Amino acid sequence: MSISTDVIVVGAGASGLAAAVELGRAGLAVTVLEARDRIGGRILTHSDLASGVAIELGAEFIHGLAPEIWQPLQAKNVKITETQGESWCHANGRLSPCDFFSKVERILQRMDATEPDQSFSSFLNRCCPDSKADAQERAARERALAYVIGFNAADPELVGVHWLVKGMRAEERIEGDRAFRARNGYKDLIEIFLQQLTATGVSVRTGVVVHSIAWSSGRVELTASEASVSSKFHARHVLITLPLAVLQAIPGETGAVDFRPALPPGKLEALTKLEMGKVLRISLQFRHRFWDEIPSPDGGPQSLAGMRFLFSQDEWFPTWWTMLPDRAPVMTGWAPFRCAERLSGKSRSFVVDQALQALSRLLNLCPDDLAQLLEAEYFHDWHSDPFSRGAYSYGKVGADGAQEAIASPIENTLFFAGEATDTSGHNGTVHGAIASGVRAAREIMAVNGK
């Protein structure tokens, strides 16, 4: 089977969907090819019909007031709620209200993008030497390290200060320290994209795995398989929105794409300057909010009912959060970097057991009692998923200009989008992915006089 069109979009994640909508509206014939049997990419929402709760297996929070997300949701009158609640910290075997945020902020604000780039670990060792004599300074250092690892899913020995600073400045512009959720999770946004694609006549084909892209100026041939049947797709342009780690994969590996001829050396070099962060997250749904009954550790009259975040140094799941202001009996555990490496590829029962053990340690509960309260668990191993191979991207030392190099079109034929190609500092976010898709679509439209 052979199909011809104006533009082929490879990947139906947020960037691919946003780009396809723009291109379809411009009157171009567009075909979206997605390897999975669903659209959304690293957005994956489970809707629990019994409780009405939207549980995210991938992206969850709307970070700040990004117009790429707010505008389509508000246009459809989707209810958006800001998260709220208290942050608790577990240290030295006890819980207490977190008081490290201002200290961590002071450390992070000392990063300087005008100085030669260095890893976050190097920066931390120079600015804040590990002092055994000053317990508060040591705790602040440890929290700063945990923040960079946890929030960016990054190896502190690899992630670059220049990249971190750019991201911090970008977050400040959209109040990125605030977190929101849509009524039905990111499913609301995906459904809006789907409606727009239908209205513009864009063809979306799922279960189509692209194996190779043969190209010359103004002509592209993709070889793909669909239910073990080989297919060829022809177009004047192709927009590649694959995750960073999939682009980095070796041809022949599941999900990898073989470019013929190979991508230019400059683009291949740029790909080596970014890294895919590792995260495994799990949402545990309980029979009821048992933490409402746990007395406040500080001796006050309140319980942990107002807990939003729980931070710790646990080696398996160091960070947890609730769904406040929604009072659903769900807690989500976050395992970044080394924690994710220990969990990825393991059996479901192993991951669930480690999550229950971690939560029981932090809340001083019996693991068996906690297991008796468990109704369901939800997680997806993104690192072992061949069509993602990780969570989201970050820049290594010396990554300045890498996103621009990856994003740059090749002979007005190959175009690139995806959160790793965002050049504004919003790598690793849904709004960064959407913005990159719109940018790439407009590049294609300009070539076609649209």
pLDDT in the model for residue 133: 62
pLDDT in the model for residue 101: 87
pLDDT in the model for residue 88: 93
Q: Return d(Cα 160, Cα 120) in angstroms, integer.
A: 6
Q: Give which of 194, 242, 199, 195 is closest to 222, Cα–Cα.
A: 242
- pLDDT < 50 positions in the chain: none
pLDDT in the model for residue 49: 66
Q: Return d(Cα 145, Cα 155) in angstroms, integer.
A: 10
Q: Give which of 306, 284, 278, 309 is closest to 61, Cα–Cα.
A: 309
Q: Is 296 within 8 Å of 57 (Cβ atoms)?
A: no
Angle (nearest 5°) at CA 439 between 438 and 441 = 65
pLDDT in the model for residue 132: 66
* Alpha carbon 119 to chain centroid, angstroms: 21
pLDDT in the model for residue 27: 96
Q: Is 402 within 8 Å of 373 (Cβ atoms)?
A: no
Q: Return d(Cα 376, Cα 6) in angstroms, integer.
A: 45
Q: Return d(Cα 444, Cα 56) in angstroms, integer.
A: 33
- What digits encode the pLDDT tens for the residues 273-305? 999 999 999 999 999 999 998 887 766 656 899
Q: Is 11 within 8 Å of 242 (Cβ atoms)?
A: yes
Q: Return d(Cα 57, Cα 60) in angstroms, integer.
A: 8
DSSP 96-148: EE---HHHHHHHHTT--TTSPP-BHHHHHHHHS---SS-HHHHHHHHHHHHHH
Amino acid at position 46, single letter: H
- What digits encode the pLDDT tens for the residues 179-207? 999 999 999 999 999 999 999 999 999 99
Six token digits for residue 205 = 């084909």
Q: Return d(Cα 326, Cα 81) in angstroms, integer.
A: 9
Q: Return d(Cα 450, Cα 22) in angstroms, integer.
A: 11
Q: Is 325 within 8 Å of 335 (Cβ atoms)?
A: no
Q: Give which of 120, 117, 125 is closest to 154, Cα–Cα.
A: 120
Q: Return d(Cα 220, Cα 12) in angstroms, integer.
A: 19
pLDDT in the model for residue 1: 58
Q: Is 285 within 8 Å of 57 (Cβ atoms)?
A: no
Work out whether the CA dihedral 223, 224, 225, 226 comes out positive or negative. negative
